[in-house]
Chain A
Amino acid sequence: MSGKKSQSGQRNYLGFQLRLISLIRKEIRQLLRDKSNLAVGIGLPIILILIFGYGLSLDVRNAPVAIVLEDASPTAVDVVSGLELSPYISPVRVPSMQEAERLMLAREVEGIFRIPSDFSRRLGEGEAQVQFLAYGTDSTRAIIIRSYINSIVGQWTLRQADRKAASPVPTEGRITLVERLWFNSANSSTWYLVPGLIVLIMTLIGAFLTAMVMAREWERGTLEALFVSPVRPTEILLAKIVPYFLVGMAGLGVCLAAAHFLFEVPMRGSLLILLGGSMLYLLVALGFGLVISSITKNQFTASQIAIITSFMPALMLSGFLFDLRNVPVVIQLVGKILPATYFMELIRTLYLAGNVWSVIIRNYAILTSYAVLLLGLARFVTRKKLD
């Protein structure tokens, strides 16, 4: 009895293997022949890397600032020359305050730096003032420009003090405060954005591409004939996961190569841990896409839902651009539900900070639970049923 049973079990397993291989082969053929799939899988990551990597930058460089020099003394000119040397500011000399205001209203300059006519006199009295007006619609940018101006003026003051101190009285144990940013020592947003970009691209490949695949079969009516055959739902699902997992890994490869060679983002942590985390997240995204696909059964709806519920939140709410601690509690909660948030934290930590084990273990655990949950759900909603 038991011998017979194990024999039929073995036959079942053989059938499973044959069918799965056949389905995967079919899936890969379709993937390779349908150009739109490859465009999304490989072309889109490259475009995104180039756009986000080069186009999107939170740094301020060469911000035009109007300079109104109402005091023509050598001291005043010396202050202004500090601005001219800065890579962050590109000064535009204007003759009068009215002209400067006109430029500001026309948004041709982003700020006005004014040295009033009594500057040298009051400096001599020990208390000079300069004025800085910033165009405040983009407050982050305005603050960044202001801080640059501040530091330039501050440096000038320091230099002045140094020069005076060079004479008789020796300087005594002066404390200079040098600001330093942790984990992004170049203070370059590219270092900050590119690892985040990997999250976005994996979301796009995983959720968006797979959201289409089941829906496409529903739309074209290919599932009806497939259902009435010895094929099991698990086999259909696995055959969808395997090829798109490979495409996702290829996309990851493109991203990692771009991060390393194009943007020279240093990697502080372990590449292996990063690969492991990426695989976990890819499974999460694939599971999510398959669930959407099986429920909507319509390519258009599926792609819309995939973009709105996975890509957009990953872009805006996962901490890719904005720190989640600064947003309202409700939005924070939304961010906390997103698996992308945890992959974001993991990948940034690995790139910019190193192997911080507490972070790695926590995020691995969360991503694993999500993967199990979503793939289980995908299996639950994929049934050989038409009603």
Chain B
Amino acid sequence: MEQMRLALAAIGIYKRFLVKKTSQITQAVAGVSMEVPAGSLTALVGPDGAGKTTLLRMFAGLIKPDDGHLQVLDVNVVTDPQTVQDRISYMPQRFGLYEDLSVQENLDLYADLHGVPQEVRGQRYRRLLEMTDLIRFTRRPAGKLSGGMKQKLGLACTLVRSPELLLLDEPTVGVDPLSRRELWEIIGQLIDEEQLTVLITTAYLDEAERCARIHVLEGGKLLAEGPPDEIRQHARGLCFIATPTQGQPSRVLQAQLLDDSRNIIDAVPQSGAVRFIRRPHARQQDIDALLSGIEAIPVEARLEDGFMVLLREQYQMTPPDTLPFERSALSAPTSGENRQSDEKIIEVRDLVRKFGDFIAVDHVSFSVQRGEIFGLLGPNGAGKTTTFRMLCGLLPATSGFLQVAGVNLRHARAPARRRIGYVAQKFALYGDLTVRENLEFFGGAYGLSGERLRKRIQTVTQQFDLAGKEQSPSGVLPGGFRQRLAMAVGLLHEPEILFLDEPTSGIDPLRRREFWRRITALSEMGTTIIITTHFMEEAEYCDRIVIQDNGRLVAMGTPYEVRGQAGGKDATLTMEEAFIRIVARERERDKSTERALSL
């Protein structure tokens, strides 16, 4: 039998880091052995902090492993990194483009550095620029490109030559679905035409599904490996879809299912229904009781399902999901109508915000009803954050009408602020202060004191499961805990509306489920929630959503209605497909008007 040629072989790789802030040692990679056959597309999948980037950097010779044997292109990369670096191409997660150099100058620089001969450059550039659709922007400084375009330029710079091994570190992170699809098309084309060997890391499981082999990494260890089909097998026969009775939001059923961790591995809302994975040994009558008469239709397992099964197995030993809220509040889920009222708690009409000549928010109108979960979706640079900041009273509007909790924000921003809670995308609390001190400080800042403050702190500590860590400096706590603390702080003064800016970016699927469980519970208690996200499937948790692109609203309504807008009658589209269709159609329309105008 012919031996398969290996582009990369790793045996027993270990790497520890000293975290300076806490002077604790983290085991980033703990005994990873893996192989990448030449001429294949291999994915390294895992949640944030699983050790993907550390591994890739070791493969690129940028970090030395503490232990293990590492052979890249038949060269020992630990002792001879330069030889490997002469032959591979590597795209780091944050590809550092030189922002004051133009697109062409960036390409030239990397072509020079990789020693690409002048005579092949012309053709190569043309192809790369065509594929990335950057041909019109060659003279534009890289700093003035949008997020998706920057990422495409990064990929183009990495591909100025055809390397023997291509390492891509999360090339699609922080990129909108449309650009993500385009990036994958480019990678796919190159693999077909040049027989490239590619190792790619990703947190998106639907992307990993395109790869020949997958290595699932978690906590620095390999959880599983094999072709996507093999990973999928772990969930075979366990996946079902249940459609709740008319009028009931799917997230209520989803919450009910997810809470029963003895019988259910995972549940997510999808296209108006709930997709769940049952435990292999769960009894049928328990599942039936849980569904209370709703029919469950078996469906094909996806890669993500297999991944979730593996993750849950891994975490079986850890304590079961803590229930954030009193069960009584959830045991009898109230239907949507009771919870919501027709009262408009936020009203926006013809909202405009300009930065110089640039129109960030372009005549946007919508309203939010009391008690809703309202989602603000859109690609990077669509104007989500700007709209969001105006709603919170952090940024004045250029023109338009804006009323939050009955207060007109154009005249009185301070009173409105007291009635809203805000959780920023970045951890905005004091890392040096303890959990308790942060709660006390922000409580004081919102005007709480004495008995009332004490009581509120007690309540949110319980609500957000912060007990036991009150005396720890908040900066050293794990990410999930910090996010819970940030939410607790945002809710201290019992606001009517809670604003959450990209709360789930960079969070693994397990923690995302837990987060949304808290959000739906909060909503049950009557808090209105406004949330931005770039995970399109998370729109399914919302009562209503708006989609923004280039500053304008391109779609609005319930997730069901928005899917309808995208696909006509066929409303079983996933949210991501709907999103891509709507945004692509909108941009097409822009182009044709542009063309019409120029004629």
Contacts and interface: CB of A to CB of B under 8 A. Distances in A.
B210 interface: no
Interface in A356-387: 384-387
Contacts of A223: 96
Contacts of A19: 112-113, 115
Interface stretch (A28-36, A206-214, A256-264): A28-36
Nearest to A224: B92
Contacts of B92: 221, 224-225
B42 to A, nearest CB: 18
B25 to A, nearest CB: 13
B73 interface: no
A222 interface: yes
B99 interface: yes
Nearest to A22: B112
Interface residues of B, number: 37
Contacts of A29: 100-101, 105
Contact of B62 (A30, A33, A231, A384): A384
B98 A26 contact: yes
A385 B100 contact: no
B86 interface: yes
B100 A225 contact: no
Contact of B115 (A15, A222, A228): A15
A232 B115 CA distance: 13
A56 B154 CA distance: 51
A282 B538 CA distance: 58
Contacts of A226: 96, 113
A225 B96 contact: yes
Contact of B101 (A15, A30, A230, A387): A30
B96 A228 contact: no
B530 interface: no
A92 B86 CA distance: 80
Interface string B425-436: 000000000000
B96 A224 contact: yes
- Give the dominant DSSP class at B's interface: mixed
B112 A30 contact: no
A180 interface: no
B81 A384 contact: yes
A229 B101 contact: no
Interface string A1-20: 00000000000000100110
A30 B98 contact: yes
Contact of B90 (A22, A33, A228): A228
B113 A230 contact: yes
Contacts of B98: 26, 30, 222
Interface string B35-67: 000000000000000000000010011111000
A84 to B, nearest CB: 62
A386 B105 CA distance: 26
A217 interface: yes
Given A232-B82, A384-B61, A384-B85, A225 B105 contact: no
Contact of A387 (B60, B63, B110): B63
Contacts of A227: 60, 62, 85
A23 B63 CA distance: 24
Interface string A216-251: 010011111111111110000000000000000000
Given A225-B157, A229-B85, A22 B64 contact: no
B91 A225 contact: yes
Contacts of B99: 220
Contact of B109 (A26, A33, A228): A26
Contact of A228 (B89, B97, B112): B89
Contacts of B89: 228-229
Given A26-B105, A29-B101, A230-B113, A385 B95 contact: no
Nearest to B106: A26
A384 B57 CA distance: 11
A217 B101 CA distance: 14
A221 B113 contact: no
Contact of B113 (A22, A33, A217, A387): A22
B17 interface: yes
Contacts of B85: 227-230, 384
A220 B96 contact: yes
B234 interface: no
Contacts of B100: 29-30, 33-34
A226 B88 CA distance: 12
B114 A22 contact: no
A191 B349 CA distance: 69
A34 B115 CA distance: 27
B108 interface: yes
B109 A225 contact: no
A61 B581 CA distance: 80
Given A34-B100, A224-B92, A385 B114 contact: no
B96 A222 contact: yes
A30 B99 CA distance: 9
A153 B152 CA distance: 83
Nearest to B62: A386
Contacts of B141: 33
Residue of A217, A228, A229 with highest tally of chain B CB at under 10 A: A228
B94 interface: yes
B562 to A, nearest CB: 36
A22 B96 contact: no
B17 A387 contact: yes
Contacts of B154: 225
A227 B91 CA distance: 11
A386 B101 contact: no
Contacts of B96: 217, 220-226
Contact of B112 (A18, A33, A217, A232): A18
Nearest to B114: A229
Contacts of B550: none
A381 to B, nearest CB: 16
A124 to B, nearest CB: 80
A41 to B, nearest CB: 16
Interface in A73-117: none
B116 to A, nearest CB: 10
B150 to A, nearest CB: 12
Given A384-B85, A386-B57, A221 B95 contact: yes
A229 B85 CA distance: 5
A288 to B, nearest CB: 25
Contacts of B167: 228
B113 A229 contact: yes
A28 B473 CA distance: 45
B94 A221 contact: yes
A27 B89 CA distance: 22
A225 B114 CA distance: 11
A244 B559 CA distance: 57
B115 to A, nearest CB: 6
Residue of A226, A232, A387 with highest tally of chain B CB at under 10 A: A387
B62 A224 contact: yes
A225 B90 contact: yes
Interface in A185-223: 217, 220-223
A229 B110 contact: yes
Contacts of A26: 98, 101, 105, 109
A230 B63 contact: no
Interface in A21-68: 21-23, 26, 29-30, 33-34
Given A21-B112, A22-B113, A26-B105, 17 more contacts: A15-B115, A18-B112, A26-B101, A30-B100, A33-B100, A224-B96, A228-B60, A228-B90, A228-B167, A229-B85, A229-B110, A230-B82, A230-B113, A230-B114, A384-B61, A384-B81, A386-B63
User: 4 closest pairs, A vs B, by CB?
Assistant: A222-B96, A22-B112, A228-B90, A221-B96
Interface of B: 17, 57, 60-64, 81-82, 85-86, 88-92, 94-101, 105, 108-110, 112-115, 141, 154, 157-158, 167
20 contacts: A15-B115, A19-B115, A26-B98, A26-B109, A29-B105, A30-B98, A222-B96, A224-B96, A225-B90, A225-B158, A226-B96, A227-B62, A227-B85, A228-B61, A228-B90, A228-B167, A230-B114, A230-B115, A384-B81, A387-B62
